[in-house]
Chain A
Amino acid sequence: MYNFTFHRPTTVRQAAGLLGRNPEAKLLAGGHSLIPVMKQRLAQPSALIDLSKVEGMVGVELKGRSVTIGAMTRHADVANSTVLKEVMPGLAMVPGSIGDPQVRNRGTIGGSIANNDPNADYPAACLGLGATIITNKRRIVADDFFTGMFSTTLEDGEIIVKISFPIAKKAAYEKFKHPASGFALVGVFASKRGSDIRVAVTGAGSNGVFRVKSFEEALKKRFSPKSLEGLSIPATGMNADIHASPEYRAHLVGVLARRAVAKAVG
């Protein structure tokens, strides 16, 4: 790992100021994606700005018809949140499937979303629920936020402060977990909130997380796994690597979407 300078701001404003003064800086959340890539010298920030001491970035809060999660809330704390398990267990099950227990004790929702790893779980939950990402500058809807593999619409100096999820009565996540890494080979988040039906897929697309409009249309008639029977998506644009072929990933999207819907209605 190349060396860097280390900063520990206590407010979002201070953190934003440090980002502005250090153009090659990176924000440090849980560090469980960033530190490994720095060890591999795939990332070489001039400075790390540690957000762990910044006030007001941790917690799960029920606010009317939505749940707001602070960006620095760790995976284990989201998974175990009594509030969240009660109002939307489908979202609580997402962080419970990330990595291993020690990783869940450190990794954060904000870090996962900002990194937008194409195999990460939280991007599917954000897109699959129509979440709003709230930064120090603006509110960004999930449909605009994720712009491709490891890429988001976040601008220089912009910091995710919290994420707001509308409460969907029916919501669930199904994941085909890579047994070694814990990442999603394919993961599907499906939800129904009134007439808003969403099916979001992670791990499969070569351009990161995406929605399956054809599945959503079919589910509009009836939100049931039966509505998806016989439906599939083409293998074009699916990831290919040593773990799975594009055809296999496309197949898994259909299987996991049916399971996610079944779980959401069950």
Chain B
Amino acid sequence: MPAVSMTVNGKAVSGNVEERTLLVQFLREQLRLTGTHVGCDTSQCGACVIHVDGIAAKSCTLLALQCEGASITTIEGLAEPGGALHPMQEAFREHHGLQCGYCTPGMIMSALDIVRRNGNDLDEHTIREQLDGNICRCTGYHNIVKAIAAGAKNMPKVGAQQAAE
């Protein structure tokens, strides 16, 4: 089996995978990072969203081998090592942006990508439009949208140019 190396949540990792191994399988089954979920396995629901080199992607539609040399961030990589939650995680807690919690890791990883692209000041319409790729099967969108708006405000400021890109 071919070898693959990448950085996951700041740590260098490597392993041997089948060519067909999906990134989400590598993360969950080999690295035991089970915070990234598989909902639909058809790139629709967004439960598996992670960041590849800082950009959101659906890890059920990426091969582990495609991420050779990449820097991956999963939900486990957001909180500070000491335990303090990331402002976006804290906002989901504060605003109860979850019901069953299955979609939550993907929602939070997508929320960070929305902030990257649109800045810290997000209106409800933008958030709802940009959540196109994430499905909450409990239909708990109301508080998710509130949580993202609040979390975005509490995050470090994203540069105007960075947000425009």
Contact = CB atoms under 8 A, between A and B. Distances in A.
Interface in A16-72: 28, 31-32, 35-36, 38-39, 48, 50, 52
Interface string B34-54: 000000011110100100000
Interface in B1-48: 2, 18-20, 41-44, 46
Interface residues of A, number: 29
A2 B117 contact: no
Given A101-B117, A101-B130, A50 B57 contact: no
A101 B133 contact: yes
Contacts of B49: 102
B63 A35 contact: yes
Q: Which of A48, A106, A180 counts the most B-chain CB atoms under 10 A from its CB?
A: A106
Nearest to A3: B20
Contacts, number: 74
A101 B132 contact: yes
A5 to B, nearest CB: 6
Given A8-B68, A100-B132, A101-B110, A106 B61 contact: yes
Query: Per DSSP, are chain A's interface residues mostly helix, strand or loop, or mixed?
Result: loop
Interface in A77-107: 80, 99-103, 105-106
Interface of A: 1-6, 8, 28, 31-32, 35-36, 38-39, 48, 50, 52, 76, 80, 99-103, 105-106, 180-182
Interface of B: 2, 18-20, 41-44, 46, 49, 55-58, 61-63, 65-66, 68, 110, 113-114, 117, 130, 132-133, 164-165
